[in-house]
Structures are given as structure tokens and as C-alpha cells.
Chain A
Amino acid sequence: MAEITRAEVAHLARLARLALDDSELDRLASQLDVILGAVAKIGEVSDAEGVTPMTHAVPLENVMRPDVVVTSLPRDDVLAGAPAAEDGRFRVPRILDDET
């Protein structure tokens, strides 16, 4: 099952919002094939059936905090680190497609 094609890597890159160029896709496809071959060893563990998956090392549930209003970070301090800001907000590139 551990085989990954260049087309698959291109699809994954699109899902992960990474605009990879052709040489990167070639390199990643061959490297991922090797890495997946190694991690596929996980399938050999025969006594895993019926075992509860472990998502976390700390068995904590529903950690609550008091429902009180606290001050948040100053808006301008946060916006100062943004690549673009306007009128006290993050400015983003076009989000609607006007061609279709």
C-alpha cells in the first residue's frame, strides 16, 4: 500500500495549500515513497486490533475556566505583526472569484 505517485503528491500539495514547482514534486514523490515504505511497517503490528487508539498522553476531559471577561491582546499590537492591515482589520487578498 505504500506507493505514492507524483500526481498524488500534487493533489496533496493542493490540499495543503503549497504551490510546489515541478522539481519539488519530483523530489517529494520519490522521498515520500521511501518514507511511506518505512512507516508502513506500522501495519505489521498484529496485536493492535481492538486496542483503543491513544490520542493524548494526558487523560483530561472538559477542562473548564471561570466564565469571566478578561482583556484580550491590544488590537494594534496584533495587527502590527500582520502582513497587511486596514481600518483596524486584517486585509486579505481577493476571496471571491469574479471570473465565473
Chain B
Amino acid sequence: MNDLTRLTAREIAAAIAAGETNAVDVAQAHLDRIAKIDGQLHAFLHVDSEGALETARRVDAGEISGPLAGVPLALKDVIVQKGVPTTVGSRILEGWRPPYDATVVERLKSAGVVILGKTNMDEFAMGSSTEHSAYGPTHNPWDLDRIPGGSGGGSSAAVASFEAPLAIGTDTGGSIRQPAAVTGTVGVKPTYGGVSRYGLVAFSSSLDQAGPCARTVMDAALLHEVIAGHDPRDSTSIPSPVPPVVEAAKQADISGMTIGVVKELSGEGYQPGVEQRFAEAVETLTGLGAKVVEVSCPHFAYALPAYYLIAPSEASSNLARFDSVRYGLRVGDDGDRSLEEVMSLTRAQGFGAEVKRRIILGTYALSSGYYDAYYGQAQKVRSLITRDFTEAFALADVLVSPAAPTVAFPLGEKLSDPLAMYRQDLATIPSNLYGGPAMSLPCGLSDGLPVGLQIMAPTMRDELLYRVGAAFEATMPAPVPPLDWEA
């Protein structure tokens, strides 16, 4: 076999099953590649060579089998894995080793997926560039001077640069899809409640959702089927069968489907190059036999403000658990200071600037006197955005838009302008507020950088994303970064 790192997850699993290679060789090839290039990329916060090779050996010994047995994967550092450092990109959890596995990790392990390590992210998943990681940014494999998206920029960069064929991300406002868009990879936010949140360090509990990252639609579908399904340990987990996503990716036929172009997800804030690739993608979908209609979702214009009230409010509550008592950092405990003083010093030192901004914003939005005008109003607007989706899905099977309004921007460009950073999520946030599934997949390049096509579907109709995505993917070659920076 030539370069094992260039294979898709499906090809790797097939090659192992056929005895053409083995899981240990596959794991080692990826670990070698990480050792070679991650100094330049910084996609990983922790590489677990020993654990990865141990799982690979068990697959080779025939102890575990399945459609992804022996396939390497990069795990976003927001998901706990027993005994493996989990920082959530924050100093406040530096050095902490979780005493249990997340449900997602349990499922990956029992499927024989080889977890290579933990990937970099914006601290507590708050950001769109990975620059808010306390451990330094990740670089985009297409151009090391540009951002890989965020918050899951480590996962997207690892997949795009062939460090791993698969990764797990989490998506609260676009943290799987925007990184996928700017790195030319496939990222899916499943229906909220489709994948268990047990063991996912909470940012905004009513929005957080873990999902697959891959280089092909089929690989994303295979990973989706492994991690999805009801979990009694997550009370918001949906007790229904997993949508037939792999079957849909095989089907890849959209003739007769109606596809809605969302009028409000274009225009101001969207780069002309992005809009052009998107318009071409819509033409391609028409050529594949879909009927394309324009739909209007008037309240999407308020999705960004609604999100930046709801998510920080939930975060300000969720992050109260970092109290310097049960895990992580403790600062200033000199025997004299009170618990409250130690807690306040710890949180001030352990949290970065963006996390503090959002905690204060959320505390403000929830405080008496402002609650109705901000948090309460945002929840009403969330209902109206959901109504817009419901009405649009009466006219179209799926909706489409650009996944991110711009291509990858230079590192540092938006760091001092929080609002400009927040606008990266213009197109992705509506699906989080509504709860429905959405995918970003590559639809060409603009100025040599990837552009993402977003597909949105009704709740628990995740298979529609894969059906449309696989049909579209078949019309264009997979984007491969030039990787001319490789030593």
C-alpha cells in the first residue's frame, strides 16, 4: 500500500478487513504524519500514541470488528476520554484527566475506532478561528497564515491535512460546519439530541451537538452511524432510531427533490467569491434533477443577536461549575483567602478574554431588569426562527446556503473585533436555534481557498443531508490542499 494517510475511512476499513494492511500500520502511519507536520499545524493538544496503538492491536487481533474498525480519528478536546488530558482549550482544566468516557467515546471504542489524540479548539468552543485556544492557534493546511475555522479548527485541520481521516467536532453555533467550510472538508451537525451530550463539556446546553468531520460524505455518514443513537444518560437524547444516513449516502440521488435557497442567507457580509461558488452549486443541484425554489426566512436576520444572548446566558450558568474545588486550577489558596476570593482569582486567571466576555454578557442578559428585553425576547425570536424553518420545509425538502460567509481569513484579522468574529456564524446559527441537522461540504475554491455549501434539513431527517451531499460531491473532485509548506 502506498500512503495509508491518503485513504478514506471506508477504504482503510476495507483494506484492513481484506488483510491488505493492518490497523497498527494504519495507526502508525498517521502518528508518523502527526509527528512530522503537527509542529507547523498545531491541530493536536495531546497525542495518545500508546492508546491508539493498543486499540489498533486489538482490532488486528480480531477482538473488535465493524465498519470503522481500525480507522484513526481525532477527538475534539471538549469530549472527555478516560485518563486522557482534556482541557477544552482552557488553562482552567490544564492537567485534568477525566475519570470516565463520554458516550461518544464509548461508542467509538466499541466500534474499534482508533483515537489518535485530542484536537485544539477555541476555549470552551467559543470562537470561529481557534485563536481563542489558551494553547495557541491552529493553522489552516491550505495556508498556514490563515485560520482553520473554529471552534473545531484542530479537528478540521487534522482531517484536511491527512493527519486523520475522521474527527469528532461539536457545533453550538457552527463549530463543525464553519471549520469544514474553510478547510474544504465535510462536517455535519446532527439533529440536536441525535448524538449524546454525556461527557461533552457543556457550553450552551440547549444548542451543543457533537458530530462527524471527514473528507467524504460517506465517511461522515459511517461515523455518524457509530456515534448517534439514544442514550439514557442524556435526558435530551431523542429516543428514536438513527436516521439511515449511510443508506442515503449510497443512494446519492436527488432527482425530484425540492431544494430551497434561503434568501436571507446572502448579500451583506458574504464575499462575492463565496456567493459565486454557491450560485454554481445551486446550478449543479438543478442539473442533478432537483427543483430549486427561493424561500424566505425573515427572522434569520435576528438569529445572530438571539444566539449571542442565549448561548452566553447558558454559558454563564454552565461555567459556574469551574469553581476551583472539584477539578482543574486553583489560584491564591494561601490559607487566608476565602473560598469566594480563591474562586474569583482562579476564574480570572483560568479563563481567557473571550470566555470572560461571554460570561459577563450572559450574566447581564439574565439579570433582573434586562431578562425580558434580552434573554426572554431572544427565546421568543428562537420560536419565530423555528417557525420560519417549518414553513420553509413545507415548500422544500432541504434548504441550502453558503456555510460560511467568507473563506479562511488571516490569523489575527478579527481577534480584536469580537463582532466581526461572531459574524462568521451568520449562516450556521439558525439550524442550532431550530435544532435541525445541517452539513457543510466543499463546493470549490475562491482565491485558492475552499468554500463550503451548507445543506439544512428538518429535525431527525439527517439522511437528507447525506443524500444531497453525496449526489453533489460526485460532481466535483475532492479539494486537496497544496501542502507546499511540508518539510
Contact = CB atoms under 8 A, between A and B. Distances in A.
B69 to A, nearest CB: 28
Interface in B316-342: 316, 320, 323-330, 333, 335-342
B325 A54 contact: no
Interface string A44-69: 11011001111111101001010000
B411 to A, nearest CB: 20
B96 A81 contact: yes
Contact of A12 (B344, B364, B418): B364
A43 B454 CA distance: 28
Contacts of B109: none
A45 B435 CA distance: 21
Given A18-B351, A32-B357, A48-B381, 18 more contacts: A12-B364, A18-B348, A24-B356, A34-B418, A38-B422, A39-B305, A40-B305, A40-B374, A45-B302, A45-B377, A53-B379, A53-B383, A55-B379, A58-B435, A65-B232, A81-B328, A83-B328, A83-B329
Contacts of B336: 94
Given A18-B351, A58-B236, A1 B373 contact: yes
Given A18-B356, A56-B206, A58-B192, A45 B339 contact: no
A54 B379 contact: yes
A12 B384 contact: no
Interface residues of A, number: 58
Interface string A16-47: 11111100100110011011101111111101
Contacts of A88: none
Contacts of A90: 325-326
B466 interface: no
B44 interface: no
A48 B382 CA distance: 10
Interface of A: 1, 4, 8-9, 12-21, 24, 27-28, 31-32, 34-36, 38-45, 47-48, 51-58, 60, 63, 65, 73-74, 77-78, 80-84, 90, 92-95, 97
B361 interface: yes
- Residue with the greatest number of chain A CB neighbours at <10 A, chosen from B304, B320, B345, B348: B348
A4 B306 contact: no
Interface of B: 96-100, 192-193, 206-207, 232, 235-236, 238, 299, 302, 304-306, 308-309, 316, 320, 323-330, 333, 335-345, 347-348, 351, 353, 356-357, 359-361, 363-364, 367, 370, 373-374, 376-384, 386, 418-419, 422, 433-435, 459
B131 to A, nearest CB: 16
Given A35-B419, A93-B339, A94-B339, A4 B364 contact: yes
Contacts of B235: 60, 63
A7 to B, nearest CB: 13
The 3 closest A-B pairs by CB, nearest first: A57-B435, A53-B379, A83-B330
B379 A17 contact: no
Contacts of A36: 361, 364
A69 B330 CA distance: 33
